[in-house]
Amino acid sequence: MTVTPELTPAQRTEVELLARGKQEKSRTLRDLKLPETPEAAHALLLRLGVWTEAHTPYADRLQAALSPVALPVPAFPDEARLDLTHLPGFAIDDEGNRDPDDAVAVEALAGGLTRLWVHVADVSALVPPDSPLDQEARARGATLYLPDRTVGMLPDALVEQAGLGLHDVTPALSVSLDLDAEGNAEAVDVQLTRVRVQRLTYSQAQAQLDAGQEPFVTLARLARASRQLRESEGALSIDLPEVRVKADEHGASVTPLPKPEMRQVVQECMTLAGWGAAIFADDNEIPLPFATQDHPTREVRGDTLSAQWARRKTLARTRFQPSPGPHHGMGLDLYAQVTSPMRRYLDLVVHQQLRAFLAGGEPMPGKVMASHIAQAQLNADGTRQAERLSRRHHTLRFVAAQPDRVWDAVVVDRRGPQATLLIPDLAFDVPMSTPAAPGTALRVQLTDVNLPALSVRVRAV
């Protein structure tokens, strides 16, 4: 029998701080035989009714910022820009996306070439290096996406001002690649532009592609050719289930994400933009946070879920450095992340460096930029970890609400008697003792959900 102690308001506060990871073990906790770990404190606060099951402490524990940025946002400067408003541009995203920072367009050229334009919100026009907005974004590292809220790296007012497709005409920083039929780039360029963009969901864009409408047919053709070329250079394809986790005080939902071809088309266009920006920077000796990745540790063949799982584990972590190097997972000789400056700080640094060069100024020296990279990565790591733990927490809430449900699962890995099961409908992995080999399909029930421990019991049906 568990006895819940009666706590004074001060003791409750002390336990709550511990659960949030903001309090070391104290004499009061020890003397009263109260919890001395964040997980145990979390469990006690649930029993006392101080916290509900909707409460997630992980962002606090990992010191991720939870308050919106309230700094003022300047107006766009009056400067020369290439006018591309005659080319239809499309910002294609998941339904409900609130920070449209990239869009695509195509232009037919002589000699069978096609110019792919990737427009990106010109955030660096509003956030120069070491400005208060820049320092705040660097301290956060990335936008925090939780199932129950989003906390921006930059002010909402900036997103409203710079987001593509939110106004009739928008300033942008645009990367262009002149591509042949095989996906080879004959030329790349980066320019400050004015663009006209229409927002679409992936399903809307897919309907246009299925109907044979341009420019979606051309975009798909370019993306297929580019993907085939990168795979010939060793790019890895990893296709694992993805879901959207949403939550509020009343419950949580987990919805599998469909994967229409247009999702892969847009991803390929963004990859090409990063490659093109890296080439442009290398040609013009502009230091960037170039993204590099070592060779996979081994080759994994096959397209099963267990093979996809194993293939992902062969990938080294992407490193960011001021000089270019190969990104083996993408099959590219050099690469930079450039298409999400409203959401990722290192993308913003890429924009700041490119803008300085385009405006005739001096980009940050490599050593200064390297310090910015290190600080932003450390903060972004905490943000990503808080997101992962919060998604797991609310996924377990979703599971706990339907204890009798039977789930399809696949054994994707094993170490001795312990196996790792992946539940595709949840994009959720759980440990289980079973002799089943990787690739084995099982049907399981998930019981005894423990939210503070983020654990669940798995039983084969």
Look up the domain containing 411 and give its range. 402-460
CA 256 from chain centre, in angstroms, equals: 17
Please tell me whether residues 383 and 413 are part of one structural domain. no
State which of 366, 388, 410 marks the end of a domain: 388
Q: Which two tokens stand for residue 176?
A: 């262009």
Q: Are residues 190 and 217 in the same domain?
A: yes
**Residue 44: what residue type?**
L
pLDDT number for residue 56: 95
pLDDT of residue 97: 81
The answer to whether 359 touches 328, Cβ cutoff 8 Å, is no
pLDDT tens for each residue of 317-368: 999 998 899 999 999 999 999 999 999 999 999 999 999 999 988 899 988 9
> What percentage of the chain reaches a pLDDT higher than 90?
81
For residue 418, what is the domain's CATH number?
2.40.50.140
Same domain, 277 and 346: yes
263 occurs within a structural domain? yes
Based on the domain organization, do 223 and 134 belong to the same domain? Answer: yes
- The reply to whether 260 and 202 lie within a common domain is yes
When divided into structural domains, the chain yields a total of 2
Judge whether 64 lies within some domain: no
Neighbours of 262 (CB within 10 A): 25
Residue that terminates a domain, selected from 329, 363, 388? 388
420 close to 411: Cβ distance less than 8 angstroms: yes
**Is the separation of the CB atoms in 405 and 378 below 8 Å?**
no
Does 421 share its domain with 365? no
CA distance 240 to 116: 28
Verify that 442 and 350 share a domain, yes or no. no
Q: Provide the residue-wise pLDDT of the chain in tens; the chain has 461 residues.
A: 455 567 778 778 878 888 888 766 666 666 656 667 889 889 888 988 889 999 999 999 998 999 999 999 999 999 999 999 999 999 999 887 888 999 999 999 999 999 999 999 999 999 999 999 999 999 999 999 999 999 999 999 999 999 999 999 999 999 999 999 899 999 999 999 999 999 999 999 999 999 999 999 999 999 999 999 999 999 998 999 999 999 999 999 999 999 999 999 999 999 999 999 999 999 999 999 999 999 998 999 899 999 999 999 999 999 999 889 999 999 999 999 999 999 999 999 999 999 999 998 889 998 898 888 888 888 899 999 999 999 999 999 999 999 999 999 999 999 988 999 999 999 999 999 999 999 999 999 999 999 999 999 999 99
Q: Identify the pLDDT of residue 220.
A: 97
- Angstrom distance (rounded) from CA 378 to CA 59: 14
Query: Is residue 372 in a domain?
Result: yes
Whether residues 99 and 181 share a domain: the answer is yes
Single-letter amino acid code for the residue at 364 = M
Rounded CA-CA distance 325/318 in Å is 11
Q: Are 153 and 343 in contact (CB under 8 A)?
A: yes
| Alpha-carbon dihedral angle through residues 137, 138, 143, 148, given to the nearest 10 degrees | -90
Contact 119, 102 (CB under 8 A): yes
CA pair distance 409, 114, nearest whole angstrom: 44
In this structure, the answer to whether residues 320 and 205 fall within a common structural domain is: yes
Query: What are the strands, taking DSSP E only, across 294-376?
Result: 319-321
6 inside domain? no
Residues 384 and 406 in one domain: no
Q: Which of 388, 422, 445 is the last residue of a domain?
A: 388
Please indicate, yes or no, whether residues 310 and 332 belong to a single structural domain of this protein: yes
Q: Are residues 332 and 425 in the same domain?
A: no
Structural domain contains residue 373: yes
Beta-carbon contacts of residue 408 (< 8 Å; ≥ 6 apart):
423, 424, 425, 441, 442, 443
Looking at residue 195, what is its pLDDT?
98
pLDDT given for residue 37 in this prediction: 85
Is the separation of the CB atoms in 199 and 93 below 8 Å?
yes
